[in-house]
Structure 1
Amino acid sequence: METISGSRSGPGRGRCCRPGAGFGGASWSNGRPHYRRTRQASRAVSYLEDVLRVLWKLVAGAILSLTITVGSAQALTTQRVGNFQQPIYVTSAPANPDRLFVVEREGTIVVVENGEVRPFADIRSAVSCCTSERGLQSIALAPDFATSGRLFLFYTGEKEPGEIHVAEMVTSGATAPTGSLRDVIAPIPHSENANHNGGQLQFGPDGALYASTGDGGGGNDELHNSQDPTSQLGKILRIVPSPTGLTDAAVWSLGLRNPFRFSFDRQTGDLWIGDVGQDKREEVDLAAAPGIGQNANFGWNCFEGSLPGPATDSECASPPASGYVLPVFEYDNPADGCAAIIGGYVARDAGLGDTYGRYLYGDNCVGDVRSFSPAAPFATDRYEGIHVNGLDSFGEDSCGRLYAVSATGPLYRLLGPGTTTCSGEAEKTVTLAPSHVGVRAATRKVKRNRRALISAWVSPCNGRRGGQVTLWRGRRNLGTRRIDQVCSARFRPRIGRRSSFRVTVKADQTFAGAISRRLTIRPVRHHRR
């Protein structure tokens, strides 16, 4: 306030060359003071003082608001779970979040339960490790693990060095014997380079097993795999494991460079991918439910993030009709440094305070744990107050609690200002109130290539206003609208052929997500007169 006051009173008088030239003194005419002008000037001074006083209050309020906004993020803390041999991933038993499975890169898996650490599996004889990025990368326990004892593993093989294996083991008692290891899909050749293997396994909301593969390594997608729909490299693969024998791995998404880590939002089912960049951008890709990325092309090597890429893949000359799926978030890869994004999870642990509902991620080279709100990634990106040397992965247990894995040995659980109580399957997610989304059309027959009027409504209404609903034509997202004051939203899609529509509303901290019934609209021909 002193600075503003000084700037108001100083320059006017300090720079004048005769008395009274400022707002506060009398003006001079023919050597005599003109007091009428002085009274006008006084009123002007009073007016300006009032204006400046109001402006100062507004500025001070804005500064205070900004301070409160920045300071409202309560920094997370960590609790060390244990120290391990080159840990690279962690998950838990689906029905017991307190039983953690820690994956060690050389080919071993250990169990942590009630403070006790014990061996669970050892497949080092089958794993090629640890040249460049090779090794045992991750595991996924079957949803019925408690009864079936089945778990799935992603690793680079020893017999044909570098080839990618998605395999299965079955427990016997408290361990999984090496003799139970068998391939679920045919091994994927990956011998030319030791980097860009991908490495994530996750069960999706549809019950299928999903796997991520890198582009085959080297630079610029030199083997031209990412855009090749016949190659299984540079992809997200969808697998429905067979109890016996091999099964096919369907290409689900393409155009990825090295999607080392991806995850599904445990509440909404959305697919989040952290794709490691080359020398321009590190990126986070989003494939929303219910489509979760089927047939999505994330652009590499035609694009690197949202920037033009090397574009040496022949398919770049004919982009997909639906366009490339560009990242929802990205950051620069420093020219003189290192960057390698580690994709994380949307936080669904209520104990994490205002981090709940935000997407957590990190960088292997930097080690800082950061997060952003999915609704506004760039505007809300922030540091969470945690640094993990050699950050290699995040993990999530069946209660939604999050973990950070350091390649140097430690495994940490992320803690917030609140507490999280888990008691097995019954409390593995936050209990949400049920919700409903309905859909209807003004008419189910529309003249060809004209627009239909589709209305959606959400119930319960209280607490939902301002939220978002999304219209889908098959697996294609046609757009999102805000829920208005009467908890409805309207869409105007063009009807060129018979089309089926559904509307979805995402879960929030109070209500569960929902999907509408299917609505079919038919085009009718124009009648010529």
Structure 2
Amino acid sequence: MNPTRLLRSLAAILLLVSPLAAAAQEPAPARGPFTVSGTLQGVSLQEVASGLDAPVAITHAGDDRLFLTLRDGRIVILSNGAVQAQPFLDIRNRVSTAGEGGLLSVAFHPLYATNGFFFVNYTNTAGDTVIERFRVSANDPDRADLNSRRTLLTIVQPFSNHNGGQVQFGPDGYLYIGMGDGGAANDPACRAQRNDTLLGKMLRIDVDQNVETAPFYGIPFDNPFRGVGANDMPDEVWAFGLRNPWRFSFDRQTGDLWIGDVGQGQREEIDFQPAASRGGENYGWKMMEGTTCQSASACPATVPPCNAAALTLPVLEYDHGTGCSVNGGSVYRGTALPQLRGTYFFGDLCTGQIWAAARQGDGFQVRRLAMTVPNLVTFGEDRQGELYAASIAGRLFRFVGEGGGNPPPGPDKVGLYDPSRSRFHLKRVNSRRGATQTVNFGRRNSGWMPLAGDWDGDGTTTIGFYDPDASLFRLKNALRGRTSDVLLRVDAPSGDVVALAGDWDGDGDDTVGLYDRTTGRFHLKNSLTGEGFDVVVEIGPLPGDLLPLAGDWDGDGLDTVGLYDPARSIFHLENGREDGEPDLEFQFGRPRVGSLPVAGDWDGDGRDGIGVYEPRTATFRLRNALNAGPADAAFLFGPRRGGWLPLAGNW
């Protein structure tokens, strides 16, 4: 079977059945310009290259090299910290940089390691958009074969601005092409809404059809306008109503599409298309600019009016008091900044400001980076999902932890909660002699359940409680003070529940959940606001009096749930969100001694391990691997039979 078609089939199946995709709450349309909630802590920008000749795009080819697109018609390689002198591709003789033109982006085929194909988007000497395919040299992996050039599309541009410019493969294996409205100002011919042009559209083509014969592509079977009579929109169109989608990206974990669409004179917008979309969205230009009404001048009589239900409004927008030209970025899925997983980064050309939008219910918490990038022009990702930004003035930056390094988070440490004094004892090192921090919080002998989580996504675990009598979560964002920073009341599913915490949607923020002991079901929330629960999942059914736990068992950035049977000291762990049998089952620790479960990333490898705490002997036993075997660490902590309760985190 064709491997690319197999890839698409698997992608389609995963999008249909993925519990993560089903559980994620789509962002609601913006209600106006976003409000900035302060400065993002723990993130800095490290310069990795300078003196580049107008870089406009950043990507990778499935390996450790970075490919930097230069506007003048070259693609250069950043490898081992240096830019190679010899370009990977040089088509300066074919490229015009008049207006907003140039060589604007490159996309490497998902099977590039096998077929060597890559695709470029540029404006030719006539000022028209060209989409071409090249192949890497058979003799040099750092050089393109210029003789392999094949032209897929030439799209006439009436003006020298609003070219769009991005090409990128989606998770379905198809090539997406962002096209601007043809330029001038206010889309004078309403091309973004017309069905006789590719301008103002998002295109989607299958480059694995007609590989050796013109036009060197085909139309995906499920494109929304494919076939005669489908509104007469060109078959290549996936979505329309765009002004100038300069940069767009796919979330590598969920498959969602994020589009930065440059505005006219009032609003800059970020559009969102969920992975399950069947295409056909109308993003509203030029009847609307962001959430504001504009004009339908020169548009077909059939276009929807402003704010019509047929229009898909942006999920984020800002006005021209904040900036002038949006740069769509990426959802962070790297490992260097785990507290930011699931956060969408974007910025502005004129101010150089970069924002981080973290999902919060059906909206966002938007924070700004302390550093700016003057003349910010693009974002990009490397193979590992680490994020980069570039200035048209020639500087390339990598997102890193503050201090200029790129350190991963430290390993998790255990802690204990003393109900009699309502005091937390938090280890600095997982050993008997390791230093301990004490935090007084809560009421003595209250019956509240202790919790540990990174509630604000700053990379540091703090503490909290669940008060079962009031159905109230009381959470702290710092390990000092006696007051709660977050109070969240959620109706419990029954009167017999156990509280737990985890990052259920991979956005970098821990939230809460309840395990209903009467039904064996987990009820999980994806935010610390609002009523009700977002996900309900059941493991089993399993016999015994079981205790819940949560952790990132497979290192994908998402916490999932598990159950521990103290009678047999058996762990039952689940990697997904669907009801059914557990993915992992194994014995660890001593049975029938009243052990309590604990989970944490004890070795800092990005995957949580498990452990048990034996109150009778005041002993922690920790294991890094999720299988039966000896403890990797065992030590005494706390008083024997003291009734203290275990927890873990990166304090």
Tell me whether the two structures share a fold, i.e. TM-score over 0.5.
Answer: yes
Short-chain TM bin: 0.5 to 0.7
Q: 2:54, 2:72 within 8 Å by CA — same for their partners in 1? A: yes
Identity %: 37
Distance 1:481 1:345, change over 3 A: farther
Amino acid at match of 1:182: R
Equivalent positions of 1:207-356 (< 5 A) are 207-241=173-207, 242=209, 243-244=211-212, 245-246=214-215, 247-248=217-218, 250-291=236-277, 294-315=279-300, 317-319=302-304, 323-334=310-321, 339-356=324-341
Distance 1:313 1:253, change over 3 A: farther
Distance 1:290 1:278 in 2: 30
**Structure-2 change in CA distance of 1:310 and 1:171 (3 Å):** same
The 8 Å contact of residues 81 and 413 in structure 1, kept in 2 or not, is answered as no
Over 3 Å counting, the alpha-carbon distance change for 1:396 and 1:324 in structure 2 is same
Native 8 Å contact 1:372 1:381 kept in 2: yes
8 Å contact kept, 1:74–1:353: no
Q: In structure 1, which of residues 138, 157, 169 is the aligned counterpart of residue 134 of structure 2?
A: 169
SS where residue 146 of structure 1 aligns?
helix
- Residue aligning to 1:419: 407
- Partners of 2:283 and 2:576 in 1: CA distance: 26
Greater Cα offset, 204-213 or 412-421 = 412-421
Q: Is the 8 A contact 1:134 1:156 kept in 2?
A: yes
Deviation at 1:484, TM superposition (A): 5.5
Say if 1:484 and 1:75 are closer, same or farther in 2 by CA, change over 3 A: closer
Q: What is aligned with 1:89?
A: 57
**Residue matched to 1:467:** 526
Q: CA deviation at 1:400?
A: 0.3
CA distance in 2, matches of 1:482, 1:214: 41
* TM-score normalised by the chain length of structure 1: 0.65
Question: CA offset at residue 315 of structure 1?
Answer: 3.5
Distance in 1 of aligned mates of 2:150 and 2:335:
38
Distance in 2 separating the partners of 1:311 and 1:419: 52
Instruction: After TM superposition, give the deviation of residue 176 of structure 1 in Å.
Output: 0.4
SS in 2 for 1:76: strand
The secondary structure found in structure 2 opposite 1:268 is: coil
Deviation of 1:75 after TM superposition, in Å, equals 3.2
Give the match's secondary structure for 1:133: coil
TM-aligned CA distance change 1:514 to 1:487, over 3 Å: closer
Deviation at 1:280, TM superposition (A): 1.1
Is it true that 1:157 corresponds to 2:112 in the alignment? no
Compared with structure 1, are the counterparts of its residues 461 and 391 closer, same or farther at alpha carbon in structure 2 (3 Å cutoff)?
Answer: farther
Using the alignment, how far apart are the partners of 1:177 and 1:315 within structure 2? Answer: 45
Contact 1:296 1:325 in 2 (8 A): yes
Separation in 2, partners of 1:350, 1:330 = 28
Aligned pairs for 1:347-386 within 5 A: 347-375=332-360, 380-386=365-371
Counterpart Cα distance in 1 of 2:177 and 2:103? 13
Verify the 8 A CA contact 2:504 2:526 in the aligned structure 1: no
1:120-165 deviation digits (Å, cap 9, x = unpaired): 1101111111x1200010000111111211110011112xx12111
> Whose helix proportion is higher, 1 or 2?
1
Checking the alignment, whether the CA contact within 8 Å between 1:254 and 1:295 is kept in structure 2 is: yes
Query: How far apart are the structure 1 equivalents of 2:187 and 2:104?
Result: 21
Q: Which residue of 1 aligns with 2:101?
A: 134
- Alpha-carbon distance between aligned partners in 1 of 2:521 and 2:174, rounded to the nearest angstrom: 34
Deviation at 1:513, TM superposition (A): 7.4
CA distance in 1, matches of 2:54, 2:377: 10
Structure 1 alignment gaps of length 5 or more: 1-68, 422-431, 436-459, 469-479, 489-506, 517-529
SS in 2 for 1:125: helix
Which whole-Å CA distance do the structure 2 matches of 1:268 and 1:298 have between them?
Answer: 21
Residue 394 of structure 1: CA displacement? 0.1
Amino acid at match of 1:178: L
SS of residue in 1 equivalent to 2:118: strand
Distance of 1:359 and 1:262 partners within structure 2: 12
Please tell me the residue identity of whatever aligns with 2:328: G
Residue type at the aligned position of 1:226: A
- Once the 2 structures are TM-superposed, how far is the Cα of residue 380 of structure 1 from its aligned partner? 1.2
1:305: Cα distance to partner? 0.4
Q: Which amino acid aligns with 2:271?
A: D
* Alpha-carbon distance, 1:482 to partner: 4.1
For residues 83 and 409 of structure 1, the distance between their equivalents in structure 2, rounded to whole angstroms, comes to 5
Q: Aligned in 2, Cα 1:484/1:135: closer, same or farther, shift over 3 Å?
A: closer
Do the aligned partners of 1:301 and 1:313 also contact (CA within 8 Å) in 2? no
Q: Which stretch shifts more, 379-388 or 263-272?
A: 379-388
Unaligned residue ranges in structure 2 (runs of 5+):
1-36, 220-235, 410-501, 506-519, 540-555, 561-574, 580-651
Equivalenced residue count is 374
Q: Supply the distance in 1 between the matched residues of 2:269 and 2:535 (Cα, whole angstroms).
A: 33
Contact 2:538 2:578 in 1 (8 A): no
Equivalent residue runs for 1:4-153 within 5 Å:
73-94=41-62, 96=63, 98-118=64-84, 119-129=87-97, 131-153=98-120
Deviations 1:9-28 (A, max 9, x none): xxxxxxxxxxxxxxxxxxxx
